[in-house]
Structure 1
Amino acid sequence: MRLPVLFNPASGTHPKDPDALLRPLPKELRDRVEPLPFGPPWDYAPAIAQARAAGGPLLVWGGDGTMHHAARALLDAGCPVAMGVIPGGSGNGLARGLRTPLEPEGALQRLLEGRELQVDLPRLDGVPFLNLCGTGFEAAVAHRFAGLPSRGFASYARATWQLWRTWPEADLRWDALRGPDPEPTSGFQRIREAWRGHDPDLPERAWSLCFANLPQYGSGLWIAPHADPTDGALQWASLHRPSWFDLLAEAPVLFREGGHTPLRQEGRLLRAILHLDRPLPWHLDGEPAPERDRAELTVEPRAFRLQVTGACPWA
């Protein structure tokens, strides 16, 4: 019994070649896996059963939307195995946040040589997500992007540009439990927390707002650099609408892991009920979600199993 590598031949911006994926692997690793093309009616049960019989994990090759739906299928099945993320989408925010190699061949080998990590499972009104959810400008872009005929960074940038100048801010009202900051467990973390300082107050207005379990949107944009998928909390992050000057001077900072910019604020919370001044679109891991003017955010500590590489920074 071999470990299944699920992939959707029609997804992503480049064709998926399973032979090219396996060719660089050592024979002992190549003999452990079996690529399986996947599509409608999207029945994950046989692949999950095969992964379980082979000792796991369930390896999934695709983008953030594919990972979102595979994770929900694993949750429905009771998480019998971990999920391994092989990047094959447009932004690959989940893979980037976990520090998984972006080349699918290298990612597969490192995952097979890797380890299991139990990560927090956040939910938006009870619906789980792995990387982040959000509302406002970023969700409007996700809805616009989902309706475009083509994928890739160019299409995403076009959707962003179309909405940048016209999307309005929203008034926010919070009922939130922020909780104490976690105690640093290493010298590096102590230095990092000292440099970071205290969390800002929860915003009363926002143009774009997300709740992050991991630090990246995708395509290299660090929206919540302090997000930790093992701390039992969510990192909220808001973006101010950038001016023309900001687009040149500040926006590039968002693409550096250690970059500090007044465009972004972030803080930590354990759970929250958020009231908006009007119904707004939402997204879950980049997938469009229904409009709502009230949202409940919760976190289940260490409730999902991921297969990660040795480069993943969380123990």
Structure 2
Amino acid sequence: MKLPLVFNPRSGHGRLDPHALLARLPADLAARLEPVPLAPPFDYSPWIQQAAAAGGPLFVWGGDGTLHHAGRALAEAGCPVALAAVPGGSGNGLVRGLRTPLDPAGAVLRLLEGRDLAMDLPRLDGDPFLNLCGTGFEAEVAHAFDQAPGRGFSTYARACLGLWRRHTPLGLRWEADLPAVPEPGTRMDRLRAAWRGTEPGLPKTAWSLCFANLPQYGSGLWIAPGAHPADGLLSWVTLARPGVWDALSEVPQLFREGGRTPLRQEGRLLRATLRLDRPSPWHMDGEPAPARDRAELTVEPGAFRMRVTPECPFA
């Protein structure tokens, strides 16, 4: 029995070609995979069963939305196999965060040689997501991008520019459990703590608010540099509304892995109940989610099986 390579024909501007991908793999590895087209509404059940019978993992080739639906299906099934995420979208935030190669054939090859990571499974009001969720400006952009006629970075940038001019901050009230701050042990730990600085308190307002399990939002934007997918925590991140000059001086720092900017504040939490001053749209892994003015954020430590490459830095 072959491992299914599930792909969304609508991802990647509709240019995903599974036969061309398999042709670039060694013949013995290509023979282990069976391409399976799957479009909305996504029903992963038979392919999860086939992947389990074949010894796993479940290969899914597509963008963050396609991977989000695959992750939800696997979580609902009890994660009988690991998810092997192959980049095929415009942003690819999940695979970038895991350091998976962006070349699809290279990703498949390295994932076949990889290992399974017991990744945390965060939830928004009980619904699972893999990479991140959020509200405010970024959710407004996700909803606008979903309704746009095209895909790609230019479409996303146009949506950002239009909403940047009129989106206003949200007022926030929190009930949250925060992790204890460990005392730095070694000299290197103390240096790292000094570099990071004091962790900020929970914000009372936010122009854009994100809860991240991994550090990458997509398209090279490092939204949560401190996020770790196997530490039992969620990173919360706020972005301040950038001014015109910030587009030249500060925004580029968000696209550097080690970039630092006052536009971004980041902290960590174990769980939270968040109340907003008005109903606001949300997104989950970039997929539009219903508006709400109250949200429960929880984390199930190590509850999700993710196949990662040898280059993945997380353990």
* Category of TM-score, reference length = shorter chain: over 0.9
Match of 1:208 in 2: 208
Which residue identity does 2:207 align to in structure 1?
W
Give the deviation of 1:246 after TM superposition: 0.5
**Residue-by-residue CA offset, 1:167-195 (whole Å, 9 max, x unaligned):** 00111111111111467799876643342
Give the deviation of 1:88 after TM superposition: 0.2
Match of 2:272 in 1: 272
CA distance in 2, matches of 1:194, 1:311: 27
SS in 2 for 1:312: coil
The 1:87/1:195 distance shift into structure 2, 3 A limit, reads same
Match of 2:242 in 1: 242
Quick check: 280-289 or 29-38, which moved more? 29-38
TM-score of the pair, normalised by structure 2: 0.96
CA distance in 2, matches of 1:188, 1:291: 44
Match of 1:258 in 2: 258
8 Å Cα contact 1:182/1:231 also seen in 2: no
Match of 2:167 in 1: 167
For structure 1, the 5+ residue unaligned runs are none
TM-score of the pair, normalised by structure 1: 0.96
Q: How do 1:1-315 and structure 2 match up within 5 A?
A: 1-181=1-181, 191-315=191-315
The 1:84/1:190 distance shift into structure 2, 3 A limit, reads farther
**Residue-by-residue CA offset, 1:57-81 (whole Å, 9 max, x unaligned):** 0000000000010111111211100
Give the deviation of 1:56 after TM superposition: 0.2
SS in 2 for 1:162: helix
The 1:188/1:81 distance shift into structure 2, 3 A limit, reads farther
CA distance in 2, matches of 1:193, 1:5: 42
**Residue-by-residue CA offset, 1:206-262 (whole Å, 9 max, x unaligned):** 100000000011000001000000000000000000000111110000000000000
CA distance in 2, matches of 1:59, 1:185: 40
Which residue identity does 1:206 align to in structure 2?
A
CA distance in 2, matches of 1:80, 1:129: 17
8 Å Cα contact 2:208/2:240 also seen in 1: yes
How many residue pairs were aligned?
315
CA distance in 1, matches of 2:64, 2:125: 20
**Residue-by-residue CA offset, 1:135-164 (whole Å, 9 max, x unaligned):** 000000000000011111111011101100
For structure 2, the 5+ residue unaligned runs are none
8 Å Cα contact 2:60/2:83 also seen in 1: yes
CA distance in 2, matches of 1:186, 1:164: 43
Give the deviation of 1:10 after TM superposition: 2.1
Which residue identity does 2:136 align to in structure 1?
G
CA distance in 2, matches of 1:182, 1:7: 43
CA distance in 1, matches of 2:184, 2:56: 32
CA distance in 2, matches of 1:198, 1:5: 45
CA distance in 2, matches of 1:250, 1:229: 26
8 Å Cα contact 1:178/1:270 also seen in 2: yes
SS in 1 for 2:69: helix
The 1:40/1:266 distance shift into structure 2, 3 A limit, reads closer
CA distance in 1, matches of 2:268, 2:144: 29
SS in 2 for 1:13: helix
Seq. identity, %: 67
8 Å Cα contact 1:242/1:263 also seen in 2: yes
CA distance in 2, matches of 1:70, 1:247: 35
Which residue identity does 1:229 align to in structure 2?
P
Give the deviation of 1:35 after TM superposition: 1.1
Quick check: 188-197 or 279-288, which moved more? 188-197
